[in-house]
Structure 1
């Protein structure tokens, strides 16, 4: 005996291909009934009709859903199916809001986009001001300069506030208003960036508590997004975590034989960034191993890392640096 079934029907066929029995859904429960049946089928569970036939003929072989000589659904079945599909889609969209990986990715991407906009606006502003104030330090406290611009009544007042020489050339009133507007826009974009980063910190500390404790919420979020989600990050080997973010350099190594990358996103962490060049690879490798452990603690709800564990790793980094105070001697001739 072979049992063929779908969400609306189940039929039993003998070895000669003759239909022995058939049970159809009667439409009970309406659209909600169809939703529940589709969910059961999606979970590889049998419908009540298929279960009933299998209880009567336990020796039957259950075939895959939708396979075999199944009758066509009726117009009433198709109507229920359309409405049930819409309801399941709406539920899926609502459930997506609970996907912290996707929310973290959107926050991370938004921060990258707004940071680019902020840097462009501020750079334009200080270079514009630098035309009138040649002794303005174009690299020091750019956002402070933008805020001071918004509080100044004129360019001379701004120069006095910043402790600079009185400008020789003054902008026309319309240009001064444009300059102030540009400064206000730069401050507004920076405020938006600050709010996004605060939201990301909160979400990352909730979704990735151990990883956030180890390397900080921003870098933890970047690793999670780069890996494609918390669960996937937890399954990656530490050697892959080490070079996440350095994919171009890695594939260039495979293609051309250039030296392989020693770190990717992890270079942004002070433990790696502030290490001497000749030990960065060792520090990054050790840090990647700790990140893998932290990601697994987060994914499988283990006991979160403590500040004491982070302090122990900090001491380990210092020990690695102390063990390699000078670059290794080169071997071989010129």
Structure 2
């Protein structure tokens, strides 16, 4: 290497150094977005450029910059659409669960005060509309109002999920439906994590207890997890649900990967899944025809 080449390489290293941040770019941003063609003696370059007085100060500033970069990355990740779906579906489930639990308490308590008190969340809505007479009725009416509020919040969260899932995961939402798509993302821990899972794992998401029991030798292997709520699994005859679950899980896995890595909507996935399910469900007709034929001979 000539002297001029060495000088050019040194200048390039200085310009690409993480501490050579511009006026509008912090050192943390530089660490997240910067790159270098080759390694360099960064501590020496930092001292020569006046960024640090010695190597110890350089590493101190490097630590501060990397912590800043990590915090920014975490904040950005937590604000991502799939993380918002994760929190929303968990909050929806919590609101529904707590509303139902409190509704049981309200029904038991209200039954001692109002002879015509109803049960469940619907009964709480009716009780919440009453004018209380005395401290006990006031508390029951107040508690029933909280149940009604939680039920409305659950509905609002579901509406939020239905509007956001097609944005965060268009293909997954189209195949699974917005709420099931959000549940799968939640169970996996995010869209990226879901996209990296094999279809066999996606197929049993939500059935972890049954799966672990099977691995311990205490039960049969589960054929499906939360995807059972999909019409293509729930609406298929029991003997074909294993095939239906595998077909659905396979397409959902492809959809999750497309959503994470490219984000473009692929309508052909729905057509392919529909065709596969028609084939699986046609077995019922073939079996019936075979049985009729055998019985007539």
- TM-score, structure 2 normalization: 0.71
C-alpha spacing 1:209/1:133, structure 2 compared with 1 (3 Å): same
Structure 1 residue aligned with 2:51? none
Structure 1 residue aligned with 2:80? 99
Structure 2 CA distance for aligned equivalents of residues 136 and 126 of structure 1:
7
Contact 1:118–1:189 under 8 Å retained in 2: yes
Query: SS at the partner of 2:224?
Result: coil
Structure 2 CA distance for aligned equivalents of residues 123 and 227 of structure 1:
32
C-alpha spacing 1:137/1:321, structure 2 compared with 1 (3 Å): farther
Q: How many matched pairs?
A: 263
C-alpha spacing 1:136/1:317, structure 2 compared with 1 (3 Å): farther
C-alpha spacing 1:36/1:99, structure 2 compared with 1 (3 Å): closer
Report deviation, 1:133. Answer: 5.7
Structure 2 residue aligned with 1:73? 55
C-alpha spacing 1:83/1:201, structure 2 compared with 1 (3 Å): same
Structure 1 residue aligned with 2:164? 203
Bigger proportion of residues as strand = 1
Q: Does 1:218 find its partner at 2:176?
A: no
Structure 2 CA distance for aligned equivalents of residues 307 and 37 of structure 1:
40
Q: Does 1:239 find its partner at 2:200?
A: yes
Structure 2 CA distance for aligned equivalents of residues 240 and 87 of structure 1:
35
Structure 2 residue aligned with 1:190? 151
Structure 2 residue aligned with 1:303? 265
C-alpha spacing 1:315/1:128, structure 2 compared with 1 (3 Å): farther
Q: Does 1:153 find its partner at 2:131?
A: yes
Bigger radius of gyration = 1
Which consecutive unaligned segments of at least 5 residues does structure 1 have? Answer: 1-9, 11-24, 54-71, 155-171, 329-334
Query: SS at the partner of 1:245?
Result: coil
Superposed CA RMSD:
3.8
C-alpha spacing 1:316/1:96, structure 2 compared with 1 (3 Å): same
Structure 1 residue aligned with 2:92? 111
Contact 1:226–1:245 under 8 Å retained in 2: yes
Structure 2 CA distance for aligned equivalents of residues 179 and 264 of structure 1:
38
Structure 2 residue aligned with 1:65? none
Q: Residues 44-78 of structure 1: CA distance to partner in whole angstroms, max 9, x if unpaired?
A: 7546767xx9xxxxxxxxxxxxxxxxxx7143x25
Report deviation, 1:186. Answer: 0.7
Structure 2 CA distance for aligned equivalents of residues 44 and 211 of structure 1:
37
Structure 2 CA distance for aligned equivalents of residues 174 and 180 of structure 1:
10
Query: SS at the partner of 2:88?
Result: helix
Structure 2 CA distance for aligned equivalents of residues 236 and 200 of structure 1:
23
- TM-score, structure 1 normalization: 0.64
